[in-house]
């Protein structure tokens, strides 16, 4: 780097000596002072020398040492954003991308035009952007359009220790881009930043970075001692324990912020409310005049008002008339892929299954009615789906005379550092989505976190002074039941979306240099599901002559290729099966409806379990509730079609009421779900319109009710995406022991599971028990239940899943005959479906 060789030196306002070509920033004095306290500042020279001499470096540093906020600034000052090139930083969480771009821009005294962010559906980048924070999914998408990342001089993969799938894949791809850029004489640098010392998966993996091994730079933050206090016993109700502990700290211990770690949004909100009630504030927030907080509040109100206005601008609905082929050919040559930065990514480890109390409900701090009370507590929630302005509140000092208490999910573990925390209360729990690799059944489990995570959490108490960490579990549990490290995400969830994306990027899936390769069986079952969905063709085969018991990764040949449908599916920012529903609905002019269905399927609990306002006796309530659901299902005038059609009707009706809260609640709909669905519909509609401009579907949230024919087509579309989730009713004759009859009530058989699955009480289909259905997924409580069930006709299976059917040769009777209208000889065949060989009605071919 020419600039580094320059011998003339100058000093900047850190008083350190810099080469003359350094870009000098005009930082405020307060910022400069705060920066100088960060441990990473003393490593600036070492870091810059390492990155100038190597293509890849790894920076390991304690959380809060200044990696995310400072390294981009070092690079900027060293000239890495010159000549129209950008510094790119990826984050696994949206929260971090937004909040860090704001913080860095502020510290550098630059605008959001220069330090910008880009996440899946929004961003503020401009042609002048020089530092770009983005989610890892966004960069993966950019690689497809610009395979050597020409716009960047350096890429930072932040929070690499989280081992998010997209970050892992990015590191694999970048390991191949770097030599290409080097050969072109325009080197691209890669900085991998991690909060934990466990970086061998990156540095020792010779398939990733052969020679030289990337140097590891350590940044030791001066940490103060944190005293760990274990509970003697480990009690079940950690929420109650956390409450008690926070109260005790507040009442008995010297001043200092409290940080509580729980598992999800709902728990966080519950504890926030409880603590606010116990230690209410003495004044209303508005009375804390001039405080930043009220400014935030005001802005939020304004934003809300604005959103309301835009939501009202409606456009007449125009149904597009496009065939699948048009759709596929409308895609750019190398399908303009998009990355499924789906709900999964959106919520990080905060489960989106939480019903999430409405934010407004917990917005107001409780107000004390009495004068003589304990010291008020300034209690703030923190989780990843909290709006950014409310997240920012945790960085502000609490109002005078109060104690700060932040109740957080594990976003506060490493991505965000909260100042002045002295006490950590650790539930030791984390919410994980657990998949059964063979059955694909998914469940949210609250489990013990890892020892590494628990230690991270404890460390949050010792940043500015000695602190204390209260673990709500015993040391025996910590030693015996906690894993040492949390496993990489790629080893924990189905990777269908990843396989499809990689296929459409023409990347070798089986021999890809993953930092931690997924299980071969996992890849194979993803490929199988994608083949069933019609996204891939052919299969993975062992190289000839290798005995099946001895197959290794390198003995496998991947013969699969992506189909036109697969490319179309991959173009949507959704799981492949939903992409398929959207791609297919195109040819039937049903996109606006399918968009609504897909949106509804990705938002949990649209229908309330117990409707607000129906609170007489339990029995009455249940009955009324049941009737309400049935009325949604349109009983009487049309046949029951299933839960998905109920969802569609609900959304349609709610939108005709303008999404009115009271109306929603009276009719058993969760108001927040309706507004979230609307948001998602807008985003998806925008996305589709960008993808295929000719399509131009309207942004109107209102839609006319479906005709009978449309409803039928929609059920076929739903089937097309759930073709691997077909279930058949268990009939009386199948039950051998009549005593077992009660046990088999509402039971269905699936192709994959030995055990029966059941229609849940929330399904409208219980009243009619159709023989053939498809379900969205299976969840397990005391039994296995199907979620969102739709009625199908068995003869559709031969059309939508011919690969899963076996057909006999043409039957003799009824005799084959000539059909004039079709100009075809029509004959009949018997058909069977799936591995269970379920008999289907004869098909005409
Ligand atoms: P690391 O990436 O090493 O974990 P960061 O760069 O995120 O560390 O944080 C460095 C410091 O900057 C921390 O003390 C943190 O509290 C502070 N900081 C980060 N974001 C903000 C913000 N939005 N407002 C105030 N301080 C912040
Ligand atoms: Mg960081």
**Atom of ligand 1 at shortest range from CA of 463:** 14
Q: Which ligand number lies closest to the CA of residue 292?
A: 1
Task: Compute the distance from residue 440 Cα to the ligand 1 centre, in Å.
Answer: 39
Q: Can you give the pLDDT at residue 704?
A: 79
Within 449-588, strands assigned E span 467-471, 536-537, 540-542, 556-558, 561-562
- Is residue 438 very low, low, confident or very high in pLDDT (cuts 50, 70, 90)? low
| 378 — pLDDT class (breaks 50, 70, 90) | very high
Closest atom of ligand 1 to 102 CA is 23
Which of the listed residues 34, 38, 47, 64 should we mutate to test ligand 1's pocket, taking the one with most ligand atoms within 8 A of CB?
64
Structure letter (DSSP) for residue 746: T
Q: Give the per-residue pLDDT at 689.
A: 78
pLDDT at 408: 95
Under 8 Å between Cβ of 107 and 27: yes
For residue 67, how far is its CA from the centre of ligand 1 (angstroms)? Answer: 9
The residue whose C-alpha atom lies closest to atom 25 belonging to ligand 1 is 395
Q: Which of 397, 417, 462, 464 to mutate to test the pocket of ligand 1 (most atoms within 8 A of CB)?
A: 417
Q: What is the pLDDT of residue 336?
A: 26
Atom 20, ligand 1: which residue's CA is nearest?
Answer: 103
Among protein residues, the one whose CA lies closest to atom 10 of ligand 1? 66
Q: Is the pLDDT of residue 345 over 60?
A: no
Q: Check residue 471 and give its pLDDT.
A: 97
Residues whose CB is less than 8 angstroms from the CB of residue 233 and which lie 6 or more positions away in sequence, other chains included: 474
Quote the pLDDT of residue 89: 98
> With 60 as the cut, is the pLDDT of residue 290 above it?
no
Q: What is the pLDDT of residue 18?
A: 67
pLDDT at 836 over 90: no
Residue predicted with more confidence, 101 or 310: 101
Q: Which atom of ligand 1 approaches the CA of 40 most closely?
A: 3
* Ligand 1 nearest atom to the CA of residue 63, by list position: 4
pLDDT in tens, 458-483: 999 988 889 999 999 999 999 999 99
| Nearest alpha carbon, ligand 1 atom 18 | 417
Beta bridge partners of 843: 829
Chain position carrying tokens 């009455």: 620
592 C-alpha to center of ligand 2: Å? 40
Query: For residue 383, what pLDDT is reported?
Result: 87
Nearest ligand to residue 34 Cα: 1
| Angle formed by the axes of helices 671-691 and 643-656, nearest 10° | 90
Residue of 32, 58, 100, 103 to mutate, ligand 1, most atoms within 8 A of C-beta:
103
Please give the distance, rounded to the nearest whole angstrom, from the Cα atom of residue 603 to the centre of ligand 2.
30
Using a pLDDT cut of 90, give the percent of the chain over it.
38
CA of 133 to the centre of ligand 2 (A): 12
Closest approach atom of ligand 1 to CA 221: 3
Condensed to tens digits (0 to 9), the pLDDT of residues 663-709 reads 888 888 888 889 889 988 888 888 787 776 666 677 677 777 788 88
pLDDT in tens, 21-75: 788 888 999 999 999 989 999 999 999 999 999 999 999 998 889 999 999 999 9
What percentage of the chain reaches a pLDDT higher than 70?
A: 79
Look at the pTM and tell me if it is higher than 0.90: no
Quote the pLDDT of residue 299: 53
Poorest-confidence range of 204-213, 323-332, 366-375, 812-821?
A: 323-332
Q: How confident is the model at residue 792 (pLDDT cuts 50, 70, 90)?
A: very high
Higher confidence at residue 748 or residue 325?
748
Ligand 1 atom nearest residue 70's Cα: 6
Q: Residues lining ligand 2 (ion), CB within 5 A?
A: 67-68
How far is Cα 72 from Cα 75, in angstroms, rounded to an integer?
5
CA 112 – ligand 1 centroid, Å: 18
The CA distances from residue 480 to 242, 450, 474, 475, 477, in Å, are 22, 11, 10, 8, 5
Span from the CA of 734 to the centroid of ligand 2 (angstroms): 58
The predicted pLDDT at position 721 comes to 94
Q: Ligand 1: residues whose CB is within 6 Å?
A: 38, 61, 63-70, 99, 103, 395, 417, 419
Residue nearest to atom 12 of ligand 1 (CA): 66
**Ligand nearest to the Cα of 90, by number:** 2
Ligand nearest to the CA of 66: 1
pLDDT at residue 588, as a whole number: 65
Give the pLDDT of residue 294. 47
3-state secondary structure 630-692: HHHHCCCCCCCCEHHHHHHHHHHHHHHCCCCHHHHHHCCECHHHHHHHHHHHHHHHHHHHHHC
Substitution candidate for ligand 1 out of 31, 41, 69 with most atoms within 8 A of CB: 69
Q: Could you give the CA distance from residue 249 to residue 247 in angstroms, rounded to a whole number? A: 5
Between these two residues, 437 and 543, which has the higher pLDDT value? 543
Question: What mean pLDDT value characterizes the chain?
Answer: 81
pLDDT at 46: 94
Average pLDDT over residues 787-796: 92
Band (pLDDT 50/70/90 cuts) for residue 550 is: low
Digit-coded pLDDT (tens) for 200-247: 888 888 788 877 789 999 998 777 899 999 999 999 999 999 999 999
Distance 502 CA to ligand 2 centre (A): 28
Other Cβ atoms less than 10 A from the Cβ of 589: the count is 16
| Ligand number nearest to the C-alpha of 37 | 1
């Amino acid at each position: 780097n020419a600039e580094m060789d320059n011998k003339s030196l100058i000093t900047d306002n850190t008083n350190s000596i810099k080469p003359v070509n350094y870009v000098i920033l005009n930082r405020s004095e307060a910022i400069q002072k705060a920066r100088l306290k960060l441990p990473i500042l003393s490593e600036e020279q070492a870091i810059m020398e390492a990155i100038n001499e190597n293509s890849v470096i790894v920076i390991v540093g304690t959380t809060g040492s200044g990696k995310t906020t400072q390294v981009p600034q070092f690079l900027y000052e060293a000239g890495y954003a010159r000549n129209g090139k950008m510094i790119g930083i990826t984050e696994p969480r949206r929260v971090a991308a937004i909040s860090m771009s704001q913080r860095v821009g502020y510290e550098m005294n630059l605008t959001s035009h220069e330090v910008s962010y880009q996440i899946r559906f929004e961003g503020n980048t401009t042609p002048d952007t020089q530092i770009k924070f983005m989610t890892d999914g966004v960069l993966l998408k950019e690689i497809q359009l610009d395979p050597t990342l020409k716009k960047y001089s350096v890429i930072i993969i932040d929070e690499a220790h989280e081992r998010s799938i997209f970050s892992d894949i990015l590191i694999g791809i970048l390991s191949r881009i770097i030599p290409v850029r080097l050969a072109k004489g325009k080197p691209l640098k890669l900085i991998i930043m991690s909060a934990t010392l466990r970086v061998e998966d990156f540095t020792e993996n010779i398939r990733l970075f052969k020679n030289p091994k990337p140097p590891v730079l350590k940044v030791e933050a001066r940490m103060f001692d944190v005293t760990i206090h274990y509970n003697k016993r480990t009690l079940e109700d950690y929420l109650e324990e956390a409450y008690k502990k926070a109260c005790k700290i507040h009442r008995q211990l010297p001043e200092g912020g409290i940080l509580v770690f729980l598992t999800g949004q709902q728990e966080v909100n519950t504890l926030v409310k409880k603590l606010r009630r116990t230690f209410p504030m003495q004044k209303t927030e508005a009375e804390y005049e001039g405080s930043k907080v009220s400014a935030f509040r005001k802005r939020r109100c304004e934003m809300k008002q604005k959103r309301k206005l835009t939501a009202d601008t409606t456009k007449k609905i125009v149904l597009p008339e496009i065939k699948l082929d048009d759709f596929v050919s409308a895609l750019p040559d190398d399908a303009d892929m998009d990355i499924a930065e789906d709900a999964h990514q959106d919520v990080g480890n905060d489960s989106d299954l939480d019903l999430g109390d409405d934010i407004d409900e917990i917005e107001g701090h409780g107000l004390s009615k009495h004068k003589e009370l304990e010291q008020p507590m300034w209690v703030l929630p923190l989780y990843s789906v909290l709006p950014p302005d409310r997240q920012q509140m945790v960085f502000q000092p609490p109002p005078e005379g109060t104690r700060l208490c932040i109740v957080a999910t594990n976003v506060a573990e490493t991505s965000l550092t909260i100042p002045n925390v002295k006490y950590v209360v650790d539930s030791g729990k984390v919410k994980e989505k657990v998949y059964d690799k063979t059955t694909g059944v998914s469940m949210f489990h609250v489990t013990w976190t890892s020892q590494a995570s628990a230690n991270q959490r404890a460390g949050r108490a010792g940043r500015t002074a000695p602190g204390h960490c209260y673990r709500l579990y015993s040391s025996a549990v910590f030693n015996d039941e906690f894993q040492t490290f949390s496993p990489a995400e790629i080893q924990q969830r189905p990777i269908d979306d990843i396989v499809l994306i990689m296929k459409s990027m023409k990347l070798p899936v089986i021999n890809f240099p993953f930092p931690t390769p997924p299980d071969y069986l996992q890849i194979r079952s993803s490929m199988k599901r994608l083949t069933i969905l019609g996204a891939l063709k052919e299969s993975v085969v062992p190289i000839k002559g290798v005995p099946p018991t001895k197959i290794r990764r390198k003995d496998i040949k991947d013969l699969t290729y992506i189909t036109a449908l697969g490319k179309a599916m991959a173009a949507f920012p959704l799981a492949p099966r939903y992409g398929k529903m959207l791609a297919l609905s195109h040819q039937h002019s049903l996109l606006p409806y399918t968009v609504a269905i897909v949106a509804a399927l990705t938002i949990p609990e649209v229908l309330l379990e117990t409707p607000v306002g129906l609170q007489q006796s339990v029995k009455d309530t249940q009955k009324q509730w049941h009737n309400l659901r049935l009325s949604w299902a349109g009983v009487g005038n049309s046949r029951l079609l299933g839960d998905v059609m109920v969802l569609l009707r609900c959304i349609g009706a709610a939108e005709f009421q303008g999404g009115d809260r009271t109306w929603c609640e009276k009719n058993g709909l969760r108001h927040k779900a309706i507004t979230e669905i609307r948001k998602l519909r807008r985003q998806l509609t925008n996305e589709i319109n960008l993808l295929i401009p000719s399509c131009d579907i309207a942004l109107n949230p209102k839609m006319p009710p479906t005709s009978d024919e449309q409803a039928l087509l929609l059920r076929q579309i739903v089937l097309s995406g759930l073709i691997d989730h077909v279930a058949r009713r268990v009939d009386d004759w199948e039950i051998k022991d009549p005593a077992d009859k009660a046990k088999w009530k509402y039971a269905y058989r699936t192709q994959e599971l030995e055990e029966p699955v059941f229609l849940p009480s929330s399904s409208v289909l219980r009243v009619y028990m159709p023989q053939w259905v498809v379900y969205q997924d299976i969840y397990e409580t005391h039994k296995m239940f199907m979620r969102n069930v739709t009625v199908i006709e068995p003869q559709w299976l031969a059309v939508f899943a011919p690969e899963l059917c076996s057909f006999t040769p043409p039957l003799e009777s009824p005799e084959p005959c000539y059909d004039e209208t079709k100009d075809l000889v029509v004959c009949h065949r018997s058909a069977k479906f799936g591995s269970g060989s379920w008999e289907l009605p004869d098909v005409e071919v």
